[in-house]
Structure 1
């Protein structure tokens, strides 16, 4: 049935400001099980917002690596999977978690509402944002939890 909805992953690149590398929309859709019914414009906007938030949150990290002579994240050594190093994997994890957290309210407006009916979207959003925060901590070289004197 032709209804104008996208029914395949969008192999489209969102360009970053440089250090962290680009994000592929199809990779996000696959990894985070983003329904095709969510308009591509919304997916793009959520990813761009998450990428920009990460640029701000990780500005000091970029400065450190660049002062150490690494122009781009892919130049940093370490364990690699599918061409990506630890930092790239954690960056994508944080961006994807934040973007999906922003898109969660749209899940309730989908045609398959009964599938999403019993989802606790508030808790799911908190879980995604926690996942993103943990990835940011890992990128910054911090432990999973910490205690500070107030």
Structure 2
């Protein structure tokens, strides 16, 4: 495997974690999640490139960068999960192991949140585990990467 970098991309409003609807998303901030994710990544033998943007185009650019430079990708598309054909297309074109991640269980939420436009373009979906989902997604992604490498 050429790269040992995992890209962890976060979509709109995730910069507000800890303050925005803590009854749904928890009280952990995105900075706290980043620190924990990078630490767990190191334990698993990866560096983690952790990013957040409210802009759809930035997320698409980063998916393309991950496809060119990364070993794997975890994406929490936020609200773009339910609306972005462009993000679906970028994920579909990215030929690396990919996991979609959600802090909450989107199937237990409002009807419009139950449909993911991006999920068909990834290898798996992790949801409903709060901030711990990032750790679980890293562990699952390591398994995907190893299985693709024939380890």
TM over 0.5: no
TM-score, normalising length: structure 1 = 0.26
Q: Which has the larger radius of gyration?
A: 1
Give 1 or 2: higher strand fraction: 2
Give 1 or 2: higher helix fraction: 1
- Bigger relative contact order, structure 1 or 2 (CA pairs below 8 A, ≥6 apart): 2
TM-score, normalising length: structure 2 = 0.26
